[in-house]
Every structure is written in C-alpha cells, then in structure tokens.
Structure 1
Amino acid sequence: MSTAAGSAPESEPIRAIKLKHPWRIVFAVVILVIAAVFLIDAARRPAYDWASVAKYLFDRRVSAAALVTLELTVLAMIIAIVLGVLLAVMRLSPNPVLKAVAWFYVWLFRGTPVYVQLVFWGLIATIYQTIDIGIPFTSVQWASFATQAVVNAFWLSVIGLGLNEAAYMSEIVRAGLVSVDTGQNEAATALGMSWGQTMTRVILPQAMRVIIPPTGNEVISMLKTTSLVTAVPFSFDLYNRTRDISAETFNPIPMLIVASIWYLFFTSILMVGQYFLEKRFARGIGDRRDGKGGDGGPTGTLQIVGANQPSVVMPQAHEAGRR
C-alpha cells in the first residue's frame, strides 16, 4: 500500500490477547463452595433456632432498644464533633496553655479504655453527691442539686461516650485542617477574609475531603460501642435488651443473631450515607479522564500549522466546532 511522501506508514492494529488466570478462578470457586457449605450448615443447625430469630426480630422491646441505641449514637457524636473541633483548634493555637490543655485531654481519654471511663461515670454520684453552684472553696452556695436527680443513666452514657469520642474526633479534624496548604489561608487573608470566612469558605470545604471518611468510621464504631453502656449501668440499649430477653428464654444464640441483624442494618445505612458524603466533598478530585477535558484544558489532537512550525494543541470543543 502506497503512502504519501513524508508521511509515516500505517501500522497494523494491535491484537490484544486477554491474559488467563486459572488459579484466580479456582480460588474464587473454592471460596464460593466454602460459603455455600457454611450457609447450608447454618440453616440446618438447630442451635441457631431461626424460628426464634424471626419471632424476636421485630419484637417491640427489641425495636425500642434499637431506637435507644440510635439516640445514644447521635447524641454522643454531636458532643464528640463539637468538642473535637474545639480541641483541634486549641491544638493548632499558638497559645501554649490552650495547646497543653487540649493535648492533656486527648492523652487522657485516648489512653484509658472507654469501659473504664463509663464505670467512672456510673460512679459520679458517689464521687460528687451534690452539684453546688456558688463561690468555690467557700461556704457561699446559691443552689445545690443532688447528682442523681440531675443526671440519669442515659445521659451519663451519652456524656461518657461523647467525651471519649471527642479525643479521637479532635485528631481527625486536626489532620484535616493540617492537610490544607498554608497558602490557602494566606491567600484568603490577602483577600480580606476574616478568620470565620476563611475557615467556612476556604479551609473546611477542602479539609472535609480528609475528615469525612474517618468520621464515618467513627460513627459506625460509636454505634457498636453503645453496647458497653452496661458499665454505667444502662441496660435499655440494643445489646443489653436482647441479652435480658435471652436470660428469660435461656436461649442466647438467637438473640445475639437478632442484635447482629439490627446492627448490620444500621451500619449499612451509615455506610451508604458515608459514600455519598465522600462523593460530594471529593468533587473535582481525581475525576479527570483522558481525552475528556473541558474547554479550558489542552486535551485535543495535535495539528501542524505550516512547515517547520510548532504544534498547536486544539481543545476538543474548538475542534468539534471546526468540524
């Protein structure tokens, strides 16, 4: 086949041969067989007592306990996020006192088990029998309340979980704020933005891309950590309520399955919400595709203008208009 003078000869198309992976297929088949054997065995094994699982899955006591678990999770995370943001700002503050206080808080609550902390909160009425409002270290008191009358086991559980989680949230928020380049802050200051405007319009929108994924994980972790509130003691959450029912029926395995199904249901919803939040705050990051640039990007074909002249890159939108 003849070619024009000075032009390169046409090359034959490349034949792409798909690589074969026989061991990958064998491994997948083995995994499927093991999963099928486990499911068939679980369906036949009487210890699981699937009839009791179906009976108590939507029991009024269980559904009410599931709602209490959600309340514990939401309220504790609100406290954790608000206090975590405050602690993160304190850690980044140039004030050494604020920085030291925030560091001590994180060190204390991250360094001790959450179960031990909840036990302390359950004994708060023993340590502080009354809550006195007045001038400290004097006999002047304006009001006094019995601790047990002010806070109950539910709110002690919320406070204990929230204060513990705040230590972890502060590190997550701090990591997100540090991930934003300092030039962004300097540019916002040069434009005359206040500190609040800089944080809400420049820093936080970029930091959320780093903050959202671990925060979603912490919310899911908090949902499961609510099972430890029995240390307060508080026994109206999902796990402890199903445990009480199993103590009545002398059949704990089906109730554990019921609690697990509810936990899996809630965590699945949270994972879907986390996915869409991550997708929203990651807009414009890593979503470019080859050959699909916008009008402002030099992503067209090369066209030679004149002889011995440099190549000119034409964007696709302009190239489509020429056609």
Structure 2
Amino acid sequence: MSVTLCLETLDQTVYEEMLSHTALGVDELAAKLDVEPDRIRDCLDRLFALQLVQASFEAPSRFTVVDPVLGMKRLLEQQHEELVRSHRQAAGSQQALIRILAGAGGGAQQADGVERLAGLDSVQGRLERLALEAGDEILTFMPGGPQSPASLEAAVRNDALVLQRGVAIRTIGLDSVRGDAATLRYTRALVGQGGEFRTAAALPTRMVVVDRTYALVPIDPADSRKGALFLSAPGMIAPLLALFEREWGAAVPLGSDPSDASYVPSEQERSLLALLAQGHTDESAAGQLHISARTARRIMAALIERLGARSRFEAGLRAARLGWV
C-alpha cells in the first residue's frame, strides 16, 4: 500500500523540534509543545511511516530524526508510482514535499544550501538577479491563475531579455489561464520569442529553478508574503527538477499552435484512445475497431505527434485533459 505524503501541522512542528533538539524524547516533546504524549506518539508513527524519523541505533526504544535531504530522497522514491498514477494527486503531494523542504531550513540548525529571504522585496530582488545571471534555463510553476496585465507586460519585457541571451524558459500555469485574454497575449509573445508555456489542472506551490542549480520556493505556501527559501544544495534541487519534468510531461502546450487547440478527433481516434487507455494492445484494439494493427499504430503515432507527447502514456494524459477520452 502506498503512503500519501500529508504532514499535519503538529507533525511538522515535531519534526522541526527533533531537528533542533535531537535528544528530546516523547515526554520531553509533549512537555515542550504542551500536548498529550499520545499525540506525540501518533506524530512519530506518521513520521516513521514517511521515513522522516527512524529507530535510534543507540537506544532502539527512541526515534532519531532523518537528515532532511535524505528524507526528501526517500519520500520521492515512495511517491514515484503514486505520482505516475494520478496527476492531480501528484500535485498535492508535490506541494507537501515543498513544504517539508521549506521546513528543512526553518530550525535552529539550518541545512547547508538553504538561505531564507524575508519579504517580497527580498524575493523579487533575488529573482531579478537570477534572471540576469541565468545562462541555460529557467523553469517555473505559476499556480496563481491569471496574472494582472501589468505584471504580464513586465514579464514579457524581462523574458525577451533572457531569451535573447539564448536562455530557455519553460513555464507551467493552471488551466484556468486559458480563458484569460491577457495571459493568452503573454503566452503568444513568450512562444513567439522561443519560450514554452503549458498548463495543468493542478500545480504545487510557486517555484522557480534556474540553471538546474538554484531554486526559490515559498517559506509558507499559503502566504507568499513571508518570503522564500533560496536552495542551492544538489540534494534539494534534484527532486524539484524531477517534479517539474513530471508535471511538464503531463501538461498541455498553450499558445504554440492555435490549430491544435481547436482540433476535434474523429470517432475512430477517440475509440482507439479509449481502448488503449483500458489496457488493450494495438492488435486487440484494432480487432475491436475492425482495422489492421498497422493502421492502429499509424493512427496512434499521428495522435502522439499532434499532442506533442513523447510517449503513449503522456499522450493519454494529454488526450484526457483535452476531453478526447
């Protein structure tokens, strides 16, 4: 049975206390946090299931906290199959994962490669510097829905300067921006200058990754005004890159070719997609549709190309998002 990553507030508080005070036991944690010992035990059980704490080698009856970076790697492995099975469920898990990364820098003993940036001005200043210094690629989650026209106009100017230097830009927004005229103008300008923009039904919290080396994530995903964490440790960047690539693979391009957005698949194409989604092979699906297996493969290859997918699985996700199946 898979473990869903979902830390409650008390779980995270206990985890942070154990990071800062490694010698605390159940009774000491209960006294410090002013809660019943049984609630601490429940928290430790959940943290143990998520492999964020483990039995102490020196005192097997006690728990010891797992290094945050190692814990993130373990959690990412645990969540891999669940992320693949459900894109929407993945987005929720990813948001919780980023919350834990934020928590890794919140205790008295901050992990290497974590810098706290307090307030929006500090965050904006760092973003501008990163954009100026970027040499390869900027990856962004934009989960806030439609942006203001003024901010989008500023983004067009900034993106143009970045793209002129040969830096790639890949951005994922929410599906809701498809109905916003200002965002559509922005995406057309971005794509026209060589950038890429896709949308997804759900996204984790805002995130920016630059040159696969640095990342910014909010300290508190529920309140971006509190500032952000600037991450540079490779062990923290790697899982964020993996999360972005999974979301990118399932997201639907926006603004690259208006004819694709208006394309209506034939009944034969819809039926083939539905049969393949049910687990049929090319041969069995062809038999159901009374066509040859070669024809079924040709139709599927054309659909994969039209959807801009890299695999049948990715094509199936995009087709479902577009309402084709």
Q: Which TM-score band (shorter chain)?
A: under 0.3
Which one has a larger percent strand, Structure 1 or Structure 2? Answer: 2
Which one has a larger percent helix, Structure 1 or Structure 2? Answer: 1
**Greater CA radius of gyration, 1 or 2?**
1
RCO higher in structure (CA 8 A, sep ≥6): 1
TM-score where L is the length of structure 1: 0.24
